[in-house]
Amino acid sequence: MKIVIVGTNHAGIAAANTLLDNYKGNEIVMIDRNTNLSYLGCGTALWIGRQIDSYQNLFYTKREDFEAKGAKIFMETSVNDIDFGKKIVHCQKADGALFDESYDKLILATGSLPIVPNIPGKDLKGINYLKLFQEGQAVDAEISRADVKTVAVIGAGYIGVELAEAAKLRGKNVLLFDIAPSSIATYYDDIFTNEMDKRLRDNGIDCHFGEAVTEYKGSERAQKIVTAKGEYDVDLVVNAIGFRPNTELGKDHLKLFKNGAYLVDSHQQTSDPSVYAIGDCATIYSNAVRDTTYIALATNAVRSGVVAGHNVAGTALEAIGVQGSNGICVFGYKLVSTGLSVTGAAKAGIDVAYSDFEDLQRPGFMRTNATVKIRIVYEKSSRRVVGAQMGSTEDISMGIHMFSLAVQEGITIDKLKLLDIFFLPHFNQPYNYITMCALTAK
């Protein structure tokens, strides 16, 4: 069987490895328009902020690894269009040469694209986006310029907040804008976003929340940002307001979700039985909402690639759904969450209650300690846990994995009340904050 994979980042790589490692004898063709594969975009801010030594290790594999397994790879190659009826992918190399690749099965792993706000001045120089490795290189080069003193970051989601920190660590004045009333509002409720906002301001970030950018001004290069509250002088703009699924190749043939993503079933199969879609270009099933949704995360991309690889090769494997587990660390403050926040549950139409608790990580007599804040969100009618959030300067990230499993399995808040959690002063309190948060639930 001949299998063509369009897109070779996290999802495409996971699908290719699944096929090459487990199903010998198939012809695997991998196509990507980029010069590289497997770039960990989540590390871009670490590199720009010089928190790591180099960007080199942000690439976790290379084309030679796949060629050694027998795959045929075309880099710097665009897919112009796909003839789904004849099962032919029409390609074009960087030198302009055209060629076709037929397929028995096609896996679309085309990812997502940055959202570009359609406002005056959007085509001025000095306005950057952050998705691909080359875009990270461009932003790093701009921030390295001595004449770039003030950096404006548009969008205070994960990428925007991390980039604001990176620019500040490079000695720049940083303005952070978002139309939302706080940073990272997608995944966290205000008891956590307030803490993050304070951390940003305490470290010199000039936060402008609830303030939409309406125009960029400048002759050739953006020199001012305009909002309803005024104009701000800037030397560099980085737009990080979000992403949209990249579904241009199949939007006229395949069924789409309400946001334009390819609609797939639990096997990652599209409305065309010969075509599978994975990663940021496709839908995913949320165990918190218990419905099809769209969550663009690298971890989800990898899982969807594994599922698609097995199904394409003939092994029936259903995805088990996701919770959208995530985390962030900015200026030493660490946040992790899974499932739905109270705000997110309201948007999804789920009637929830929540329980909060705050305490020290370890007993008070321990010299090394930190405060931990936790919120557990649960559905009122069923009492099943639909989400959790935790924040601390301590690394409490492993706890969120337990909550991810709880959401996946429909565990109730009451099941957590007497959960067997060990105690040792080196690690935690005898009355653990997870236990106490569950016990205080009404």
The pLDDT tens digits for 119-144 are: 999 999 999 998 888 899 999 999 99
Per-residue pLDDT of 381-434, as tens digits, reads: 999 999 999 999 999 999 999 999 999 999 999 999 999 999 999 999 999 999
Rounded Cα distance between 258 and 83, Å, is: 24
Burial of 209 (0-12, 13-18, 19+ CB in 10 A): middle
For position 57, what pLDDT does the model report? 87
Ramachandran class of 242: left when φ > 0, alpha when ψ lies in -120 to 50, beta otherwise = left
Predicted confidence at residue 75, as pLDDT, reads 95
Q: Rounded to the nearest 5 degrees, what angle is found at the Cα of 60, between the Cα atoms of 54 and 62?
A: 105
| Residue 269: DSSP 8-state | B
Residue among 10, 91, 281, 437 flagged as catalytic: 10
In angstroms, the Cα distances linking 200 to 137, 203, 288 are 25, 5, 30
pLDDT tens for 214-262 read 999 999 999 999 999 999 999 999 999 989 999 999 999 999 999 999 9
Burial class (CB in 10 A: 0-12, 13-18, 19+), 380: exposed
| Alpha-carbon separation of residue 439 from 163, 414, 432 (angstroms) | 38, 8, 10
Confidence of residue 205 (pLDDT cuts 50, 70, 90): very high
Lowest mean pLDDT segment, chosen from 37-41, 202-206, 208-212: 37-41
What token pair was written down for 142? 């701009």
Nearest to 226 by CA among 125, 351, 132, 119: 119
Query: Could you confirm whether 91 is annotated as catalytic?
Result: no
**Cα–Cα distance between 135 and 124 in angstroms, integer?**
16
| Strand 150-154 versus strand 173-178 pairing type | parallel
Distance CA 321, CA 304 (A): 10
The three-class DSSP label of residue 404 is: helix
Strands 275-277 and 243-245: unpaired
Between 349 and 55, the more confident residue is 349
Residue 38 pLDDT: 84
Q: Which of 42, 253, 267, 329 is catalytic?
A: 42
Mean pLDDT of 195-212: 97
Strands ordered across the beta sheet of 236-239: 127-129, 236-239, 150-154, 173-178, 206-209
Q: Is 281 tagged catalytic?
A: no
Residues 6+ apart with CB under 8 A from 135: 128, 129
- Residue pair 166/329 in contact (Cβ under 8 Å)? The answer is no
